[in-house]
């Protein structure tokens, strides 16, 4: 049974006499450990109807680049195949996600969606709830404790949210039961019945038509492959697809298994050792909902119930969800606590030894070899160790004309290059650089009372030259 706190009715319309139950998949892009999917199957079984899944694929998604699309589509192709095997028809609709959901759900008995915490994600769901002619239900599956169950306000820091999360863990840290669909939706054929049949074909380079800009696509079928679709999309190609990550649930689970077997034991000791690879590298998979945080937490608990990893995965990550959910301006300098804004303002006119433009930063052209290595890792792989992300952010504050400009630059680079960018964690991580969720420290030029980091600290605490060598091997 799905915990009722995960289920939110988004409108007060009843289910109607429709031909299927639609699961509009947007955030939780997986075919397992997905409360929204299982809820849709339960409701469909009760109504004697099949379940259909649709994903809304938008060209030029804000701040997304080819790197993000490639990873996401790889994951979706796998997810759709798994859904088909379960008798659940799954397809992509090209267009604005809310419009796709409304169009696909025109003849549905009800629409089930998953939950996203960013402003635009909430707005899309509100639009569907308002415009659909049927019941719309949101099911929260990408956190351990539902965000409004954990707290009813923006928490001050990890210390204040931790006890609230920990006291609800037994209740919410429960496996998700897989429900067998009673009716088969028979994949693509089912959706052709929705009208506007797609002109499916291969990419011109493969001797066929391009995937259509409008209509329904069954990824992986009828010649619509990830590569063809990727080439056909209008998107920012300045950050190439090449990254060391292969998208999808299977790849995520493989990483988790290897991490538990080989690295979990040293995870805490190496949390500030970026020359090692002793972290899970699961953040891109979590960002795209390709793996469930609940599944990860239970696997880690089995291996080591006291692991520090659970603090990062549950407390730190869900503090970020709490931040964006209860802070409407989470992507602007104004979101910072008053003490941080005041101290940074007091030091806004302090002399900066060097200033770098966004282009210089992006091309790793600073005087600091450690920072350059971090930026290179990010540019080449789409990933960076948490300890280097902290240093990377702090230096941009130091090298920008004003803290406001530093905030904007950091967020833009973060979201453009990190495969896990545009996540609640991205906004919380960048805001942390400027004092969010942190305390005041000794006062210094430029930084004021916000936490300071420098190269001498890196040299003292880790093998930073080893890190630089590691990155050379990547570029
Ligand atoms: C300036 C800055 C920018 C950041 N930008 C992003 C971003 O764009 N996307 C992103 O997902 N994370 C971001 N983080 C948070 C953190 O660095 C990454 O989540 C982490 O490094 C991802 O690597 P991992 O999956 O190997 O983490 P692991 O150490 O293996 O931890 C497992 C999971 O726990 C969560 N987690 C770990 N550390 C943190 C943390 N400090 N805060 C919140 N959650 C955490 C993540 O979901 C992570 O995947 C940022 C941090 C800073 C300081």
- 143-191 tens-digit pLDDT: 999 999 999 999 999 999 999 999 999 999 999 999 999 987 655 555 6
- Pick the residue whose CA is nearest to atom 26 on ligand 1: 281
Whether residue 125 has pLDDT greater than 80: yes
> Among 81-95, 99-113, 157-171, 441-455, whose mean pLDDT is lowest?
81-95
352-384: pLDDT as tens digits:
999 999 999 999 999 999 999 999 999 999 999
Is residue 346 in a domain? yes
* Residue-number span of the structural domain to which 371 is assigned: 331-472
Residue 386 CA to ligand 1 center (angstroms) comes to 6
The alpha carbon of 346 and the centre of ligand 1 are apart by a number of angstroms equal to 30
Q: Which one, of 79, 153, 418, lies nearest residue 161 by Cα?
A: 153
Give Cβ neighbours of residue 77 (< 8 Å, ≥ 6 apart).
219, 220, 225, 226, 248
- Answer whether residue 358 is part of any domain: yes
Mean pLDDT over all residues of the chain?
Answer: 92
The CA distance from 282 to 35, in Å, is: 20
Residue 218's pLDDT band (boundaries 50, 70, 90)?
confident
Does residue 172 belong to any structural domain of this protein? no
**Segment among 98-102, 203-207, 270-274, 361-365 with least mean pLDDT:** 203-207
pLDDT confidence of residue 193: 59
Q: What average pLDDT score do residues 272-286 get?
A: 98
Kindly state the percentage of the chain with pLDDT values over 90. 84
Residue of 429, 431, 433 to mutate, ligand 1, most atoms within 8 A of C-beta: 429
Instruction: Find the CATH number of the domain harbouring 357.
Output: 1.10.579.10
Cβ-based burial of 234 (10 A; exposed 0-12, middle 13-18, buried ≥19): exposed
Instruction: Give the pLDDT confidence of 393-416 residue by residue, as tens digits.
Output: 999 999 999 999 999 999 999 999
3-state secondary structure (DSSP) of residue 9: strand
Ligand 1 midpoint to CA 244 (Å)? 17
Closest residue CA from atom 3 of ligand 1 = 429
Within a domain: residue 363? yes
- Identify whether 282 is part of a domain: no
Number of CB atoms found within 10 A of residue 160's CB: 15
Of 53, 419, 37, the residue nearest 219 (C-alpha): 53
Give tens-digit pLDDT for 25-65. Answer: 999 999 999 999 999 999 999 999 999 999 999 998 888 99
- Kindly tell me if the per-residue pLDDT of 254 is higher than 60: yes
Q: Is the pLDDT of residue 209 over 70?
A: no
Give the atom of ligand 1 at the shortest distance from the alpha carbon of 390: 53
* CB of 143 closer than 6 angstroms to any ligand 1 atom: no
Structure tokens given for 252 = 């995520």
Helix, strand or coil, per DSSP, at residue 470: helix
Quick one: pLDDT at residue 196?
Answer: 45
Write out the DSSP string of 339-390.
HHHHHHHHTTTSPPS----HHHHHTT-SS-HHHHHHHHHHHHHS---HHHHH
What is the spatial distance between Cα 341 and Cα 334, in angstroms, rounded to a whole number?
A: 8
- Lowest average pLDDT, out of 138-142, 212-216, 328-332, 459-463, goes to 212-216
- What would the pLDDT profile of 129-149 be if each residue is shown by its tens digit? 999 999 999 999 999 999 999
The pLDDT of residue 271 is above 80: yes
| Total count of domains within the chain | 1
140 domain residue, yes or no: no
Q: Is the pLDDT of residue 437 over 80?
A: yes
Ligand 1 atom closest to the CA of 423, numbered from 1: 9
**Residue 362 placed within a domain:** yes
Q: Please say if the pLDDT value at position 240 is more than 80.
A: no
**In this structure, are residues 108 and 18 in contact, taking their beta carbons and an 8 Å threshold?**
yes
Ligand 1 proximity of 433 Cβ (cutoff 6 Å) = yes
37: in domain: no
Query: Are 56 and 90 contacting, i.e. CB atoms less than 8 angstroms apart?
Result: no
* CA–CA distance, 272 with 270 (Å, rounded to integer): 5
The DSSP annotation for 145-198 comes to S-HHHH-SS--SSHHHHHHHHHTTHHHH--PPPP---SS---HHHHHHTTSS--
């Amino acid at each position: 049974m799905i915990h009722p706190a995960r289920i939110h009715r988004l409108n007060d319309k009843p289910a109607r006499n429709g031909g299927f139950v639609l699961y509009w998949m947007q955030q939780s892009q997986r075919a397992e450990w997905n409360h929204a999917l299982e809820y849709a199957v339960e409701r469909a079984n009760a109504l004697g109807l099949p379940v259909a899944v649709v994903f809304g694929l938008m060209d030029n998604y804000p701040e997304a680049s080819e790197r993000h699309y490639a990873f996401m589509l790889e994951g979706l192709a796998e997810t759709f195949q798994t859904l088909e095997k379960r008798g659940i028809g799954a397809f992509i609709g090209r267009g604005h996600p809310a419009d796709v959901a409304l169009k696909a759900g025109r003849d549905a008995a009800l629409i089930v969606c998953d939950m996203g915490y960013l402003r635009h994600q909430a707005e899309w769901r509100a639009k569907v709830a308002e415009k659909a002619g049927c019941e719309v239900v949101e099911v929260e599956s990408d956190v351990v404790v539902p965000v409004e169950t954990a707290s009813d306000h923006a928490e001050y820091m990890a210390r204040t949210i931790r006890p609230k999360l920990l006291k609800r863990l037994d209740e919410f840290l429960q496996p998700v039961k897989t429900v067998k669909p009673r009716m088969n939706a028979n994949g693509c054929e089912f959706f052709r019945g929705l009208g506007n049949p797609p002109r499916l074909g291969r990419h011109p380079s493969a001797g066929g038509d391009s995937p259509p800009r409008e209509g329904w696509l069954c990824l992986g079928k009828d010649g619509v492959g990830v590569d063809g679709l990727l080439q056909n999309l209008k998107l920012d190609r300045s950050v190439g697809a090449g990254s060391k990550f292969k998208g999808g649930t299977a790849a995520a689970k493989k990483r988790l298994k290897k991490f538990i077997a080989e690295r979990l034991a040293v995870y805490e000791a190496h949390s500030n050792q970026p020359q090692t690879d002793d972290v899970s590298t699961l953040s891109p998979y979590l960002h795209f909902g390709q793996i469930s945080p609940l599944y990860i937490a239970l696997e880690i608990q089995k291996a080591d119930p006291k692991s520090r990893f659970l603090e990062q995965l549950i407390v730190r990550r869900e503090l970020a969800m709490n931040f964006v959910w209860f802070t409407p301006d989470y992507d602007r300098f104004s979101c910072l606590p008053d003490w941080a804004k005041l101290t940074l303002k007091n030091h806004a006119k302090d002399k900066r030894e060097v200033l770098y433009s966004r282009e210089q930063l992006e091309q790793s052209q600073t005087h600091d070899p450690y920072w350059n290595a971090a930026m290179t890792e990010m540019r080449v792989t789409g990933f960076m160790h948490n300890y280097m992300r902290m240093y990377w952010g702090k230096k941009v504050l130091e090298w920008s004309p004003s803290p406001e400009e530093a905030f904007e630059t950091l967020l833009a680079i973060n979201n453009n290059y990190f495969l896990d960018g545009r996540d609640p964690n991205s906004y919380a991580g960048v805001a942390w650089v400027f004092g969010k969720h942190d305390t005041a420290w000794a006062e210094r030029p430029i930084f004021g009372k916000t936490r300071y980091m420098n190269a001498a600290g890196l040299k003292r605490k880790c093998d930073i030259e080893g890190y630089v060598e590691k990155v050379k091997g990547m570029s």
